[in-house]
Amino acid sequence: MNLNKIFLMFGYGGDDKGDSKKMKEEFNLYKNTPYFKIGMFHKLITNGNNFSQQVLKFFLQADPTLDATGIDEAGEYMMYTRAWYWISQCKLRKKEWKEALISYTSDEFIVSIKLSIHYFESIEEYEKCAFLKKIQDFLQKNLKEA
């Protein structure tokens, strides 16, 4: 496999070190977009649940007498806190955020929002719940219109 040929397909390649710098700059620009931030939130929630179940299964197989409660709770806390970092930057009044949310509008994404609300209710962080509920309402409104 020739990586240079693959990168050439996307406008990068050769031995020019400027290509690497250009890729990093473009990626950093993309990381600051609502699309990236919403996508990170969604990936963390959907993949995080699967990952924490796999980790828990691994530890229980290694030591069946292990009290897994703490491991499960720590994993949940890390997942939802990190996901919150990304979605908390959402500005529902800005056009680019609305467009990004509309592009992600699906039943699956709404489930991610609902799971997050449920988690933050359980630890009594109601401000986060209210913020997420506004996003949920916006998504459900757009899902009905679609």
Residue 13 lies in a domain: no
Residue 23 lies in a domain: no
Residue 117 lies in a domain: yes
Residue 78 lies in a domain: yes
- Going by pLDDT thresholds of 50, 70 and 90, the confidence category of residue 16 is low
Nearest partner of 49 among 14, 74, 75, judged by Cα: 75
Which residue in the block uniquely carries the two structure tokens 């009290």? 67
Residue 28 lies in a domain: no
Q: How many domains does the chain have?
A: 1
- Going by pLDDT thresholds of 50, 70 and 90, the confidence category of residue 145 is confident
Question: Tens digit of pLDDT for each residue in 18-57?
Answer: 666 777 788 888 899 999 999 999 999 999 877 777 777 8
- Going by pLDDT thresholds of 50, 70 and 90, the confidence category of residue 75 is confident
Average pLDDT over the chain, rounded to whole?
86
Q: Is 141 helix (H, G, I), strand (E, B) or coil?
A: helix
Residue 4 lies in a domain: no
Print the domain residue range for 47: 34-86+93-145
The pLDDT of residue 66:
75
CA distance 125 to 80: 12
CA distance 24 to 33: 15
CB atoms within 10 A of CB 100: 19
Question: Residue 116 pLDDT > 70, yes or no?
Answer: yes
CA distance 123 to 56: 21
For the segment 5-11, the average pLDDT, to the nearest whole number, is 66
Highest mean predicted confidence (pLDDT) among 17-21, 102-106, 114-118: 114-118
Residue 61 lies in a domain: yes
Does this model's pTM top 0.75? yes
In the chain, what is the straight-line distance between the N-terminal and C-terminal CA atoms, in Å?
A: 42
Question: Tens digit of pLDDT for each residue in 120-130?
Answer: 999 999 999 99
Residue 5 lies in a domain: no
Q: In this predicted model, which residue has the larger pLDDT, 8 or 115?
A: 115
Question: Residue 15 pLDDT > 60, yes or no?
Answer: no
